[in-house]
Chain A
Amino acid sequence: MSLLHFVVLAPFVMAIFLPFLYYKFRSIHTGWFLLPLPLILFIYVATYIPFGGGGMEAVEHTVQWVPSLGINFTVYLDGLSMLFALLITGIGTLVVLYSIFYIANKPDEPLNNFYVYLLMFMGAMLGVVLSDNLIVLYVFWELTSLSSSLLIAYWFHKEKSRYGAQKSMLITVSGGFAMLAGFALLYIIAGNTFSIQEIISQADAIVQDPLILPAMLLILLGAFTKSAQFPFHIWLPDAMEAPTPVSAYLHSATMVKAGIYLVARLTPVFGLTAEWFWILVIFGLTTLLWGSISAVRQTDLKGILAFSTVSQLGLIMALLGMGAAALHYDFIETETMYYTATMAAVFHLINHATFKGALFMAVGIIDHETGTRDVKRLGGLMAIMPVTFTVSLVGLAAMAGLPPFNGFLSKEMFFTATLNVASLDIFNLETLGVFIPIVAWIASVFTFVYSMMMFTRTFTGEFKPENYEKEVHEAPAGLLISPIILGSLVILFGLFPNLLGYTLIEPAMQAILPGITPVGEQFYVNIYHWHGINTELLMTVAVVLFGLAIALNLKKWAEAAFFQRERDPLNRAYDFGLDQLVVQSQNVTNFHMTGRLRDYMLYMSVFIVGLGMYTFFRYNSLDINLEGQGGIPGYAILVIGGLIASTLVLPFVHKRITNLVLLGVIGFLVALLFVIFRAPDLALTQLLVETVMVVLFLLVFRHMPEITKEKKAPLTTTVKALVSGAVGIFVILTGLSVHALRAESDITPISDFFIENSVPLAGGYNMVNVILVDFRGLDTLLEVLVLGIAALGIVTLIKHRLKGDEDV
């Protein structure tokens, strides 16, 4: 265990103790207890930042988990992991601080739930970005889905919360499941290793494998569902039912970037294929366009931000795809054109976290202080909430890509990257590449439009007090701290982007594009505002002009059918699918789940017999040898005859006391057989159990009625007789085959070990007892555990029943 392991585990450990703190110090807001943890983790991770430049050395520590399956808890910290870990802990600190003021400490507010889920998410997300093992990564991945779903449903009394939670769960978890299959394929391709670094090290060989495409598609399915790529993005807008701190944290800054992380992490593996490039670029650009267009139609501020997040995620995804093209060239050429895309992706990732986080928090403040997020009711808040207004202005300007904020820089780089890619000479880019900058440009126009829309409809215009249920005023200072910090970062990174250059961007790029720097040389990230008048700048100017034109004329369009449909049309497909899933599975269930024990037994018996018979004939294993029977002593024949006779009578007796007597007789005959077969312990046990059982049956009889007589239905009786006869014959055939096998092949029983070692190892002469208490002691322990559980079940059934009319 290294300290890095504790970085992942600390949130989970904290989650165990948090509820106690919550109940013990009820008057203190639980968030305060939590606040130091992400801060400490942030500072710890920040110590790995190479402040002196020169790239960073990856750190790796392994703890064995299931070494036989190649599953180890290996933490691996390189530039990419570090960037994400810093985002998770850094934004986490700010979000926790913000949530302390956002969610009031009311008596009926289950704060312990909220923070336990949040901690669970934090730990899981750190686990995702720090694990080197694919299986461990998968486990944490699903944990983030789970905690995200729990957080969306935090206010579970609202129906929409539950709907959103279910939706996000279904989509992300099924994607995760596909991803697991992809990991399994990757495991096979890479020669039985789950370690990402080992897989990367044999990337050249992996690309040749025919299984690479299915593996890639499955893994991308996981990444796309998680990162809300078209057409799986529909869960993200519904996830906005979560408390705003959660939206700011999970659904814009961290969790939705897990897919981005995975894609970036696996770029060295898949990046050499043309499919990787095209899938990422096409899906990324579609998401970018779709998200930005949908965002314009929203009237809920959080809805706008949700679709905006969707589109920005698409942008980063597309950039990563374009960046992978760089792997096709050796890096001797120092031209930046090949890796601008990747650099833009990493840079925009940071920028997006800052400005989108600030915007979410500002929207949360508006919601908190005015009681609404509907742009139709809002307006004129500029003068009333000056601080929120300033922060939002900064965030929106960055989102729209205006100078001098960081969004402008990454948007310029994005344009540069699209133009560069369009001029590459691989993957048919000569012909198709020209569409990439065009789509990017259109999407940017819409991005500008919705940014403008948010600004004008919230802050400008007339303030109408009658639209609000409460008195509107600026938020308390505590609520403003986090958005102000993030807003300042937007400006800081905008003015001094090179602060991030060798500290964060460069190490991350080394991880995404290994070999980008030849050994001993250094790779410099240099970002600056003014490139001279070039295509990118002209594109930005055109974006602003067109955007302004559309935004100013937005009112004329407001009646258009396009604007009336706020809900994403893809939701209809999802809802229909979900309904059909329920209906169809119900039909299937109703068809075979008849509620009759008889039918279930029938299915099972038929299946067992069928499977057994199939095995007999498939492997030709039926083998009957009736030879070699020694003489059977007369008393044995008597006992066995009695046993068979009383057994066969049993189904025909309908009086329960006769049944019980017969059962007793059978039990004692079995005990006698145990005596004959030289098993004294068994005989004793059987006798005693039989005695106790008779008392038990009699007691139950006292309370229960006589056995109901079967209604005569000859067909079902025949079926029953046939099926049970078949089971009997199957058992007999199996037994005979086993017996014949024993006779033919010389198998020595393993019990010689017990016979030899009973006295020297365990000091006992009764081998059965020695096996029970010593050699197989664990079995016995678990057996009495089962007994104990059965007894507890009995006591619960009888003594702790539900009150009133509740159905049991």
Chain B
Amino acid sequence: MEILMIFTSGIIIAVATYLFMTRSLLRVAFGVVMLSHGVHLLILTLSGLETGAPPLLTENAEAYTDPLPQAVILTAIVISFGVTAFLLVLAYRTYKEHGTEDLEELRGNADE
């Protein structure tokens, strides 16, 4: 299971990297979403997927899954939501100001 999941996150992150390198600002935003998915899954996987009970002590189980990575990922999900929202608005405003969302056309000169 872990091996499979590692490969899955690898593929997701590769696709995210690809999307980052495209010309459309919107697709870059998609890339950010994908990257966070990939990283979240990777963190969860690397902490071990031994099947214990969900980390709720009311379950009275013998073993629980590791709660710490879950807490970390929960934080990460919310943060990546904030970042994505900001990036989207940035893309939107850029388009409003410059009439394009093509990164190639948005290129500035360093001397400007």
| Chain B residues whose CB sits within 8 angstroms of the CB of A705 once the complex forms | 95, 101
A63 to B8, CA, bound (A): 55
Chain A contact surface mostly: helix
Chain B residue contacts of A727, Cβ below 8 A: 13-14, 17
Q: With the chains together, A723 CA to B16 CA distance in Å?
A: 11
Query: What's the Cα separation between A736 and B3 when bound, in Å?
Result: 7
* 9-residue interface stretch from A280-288, A348-356, A673-681: A673-681
Judge whether A678 and B52 touch: CB under 8 Å.
Answer: yes
Which residues of A from 567 to 586 have beta carbons under 8 Å from B? 586
Q: Name the interface residues of B10-37: CB closer than 8 Å to any CB of A.
A: 10-24, 26-28, 30, 33-34, 37
Indicate with 1 or 0, residue by residue over A648-682, a CB within 8 angstroms of chain B CB atoms: 10110000100100010011001001100111111
The answer to whether A697 has its CB under 8 Å from any CB of chain B is yes
**A696, B96: Cα distance in complex, Å:** 17
How would residues 592 to 625 of chain A score, 1 for a CB under 8 Å from any chain B CB and 0 otherwise?
0111111001100100000000000000000000
Tell whether, in the assembled complex, residue B19 and residue A651 are in contact, meaning their CB atoms are under 8 Å apart.
yes
Report the separation of the CA atoms of residues A725 and B10 in the bound assembly, to the nearest whole angstrom: 9
Q: Which residues from B are CB-within-8-Å of A656? A: 26
**Which residues of chain A from 753 to 783 have any CB-CB distance to chain B below 8 Å in the complex?**
754-755, 758-759, 765-768, 771-772, 776, 779-780, 783
Would you call A750 and B10 a contact (CB within 8 A)? no
Does A742 touch B at the CB level, under 8 Å? yes
In B28-60, which residues have CB < 8 Å from any A CB?
28, 30, 33-34, 37-38, 40-42, 44-49, 51-58
On chain B, which size bracket covers the interface?
35 or more
Contact A685 B24 (CB under 8 A): no
A704 CB within 8 Å of chain B: yes
Q: Please, which residue of chain B has its CB at the minimum distance from the CB of A789?
A: B82
Q: How far is the CA of A594 from the CA of B97 in the complex (A)?
A: 21
Q: Which of B51, B88, B102 contacts A696 (CB 8 A)?
A: B88
The reply to whether A597 and B103 contact each other, CB–CB distance below 8 Å, is: yes
The answer to whether A368 has its CB under 8 Å from any CB of chain B is no
Residues in A with CB closer than 8 Å to B2 are: 629, 739
Contacts A710-B22, A728-B14, A731-B42 aside, 19 further interface pairs with beta carbons under 8 A come to A586-B111, A593-B110, A605-B17, A640-B8, A678-B53, A679-B65, A679-B70, A682-B77, A685-B78, A704-B101, A705-B95, A724-B16, A739-B6, A742-B48, A749-B68, A765-B57, A793-B89, A794-B86, A798-B93
A678 to B70, CA, bound (A): 10
A689-B77 contact given A767-B67, A797-B89, CB 8 Å threshold:
yes
Contact A678 B65, CB 8 Å, known A704-B101, A798-B89: yes
Whether A666 and B26, one on each chain, are in contact in the complex, defined by CB atoms closer than 8 angstroms, is no
Query: In the bound complex, what is the Cα–Cα distance between A593 and B21 (angstroms)?
Result: 15
Q: How far is the CA of A682 from the CA of B73 in the complex (A)?
A: 7
Pairwise interchain contact B75-A779, C-beta atoms closer than 8 A:
yes
Q: Which of B4, B48, B67, B95 has the most CB of A within 10 A?
A: B67
CA gap between A754 and B69 in the complex, in Å: 12
Instruction: Give Cα A64 to B21, complex, Å.
Output: 50
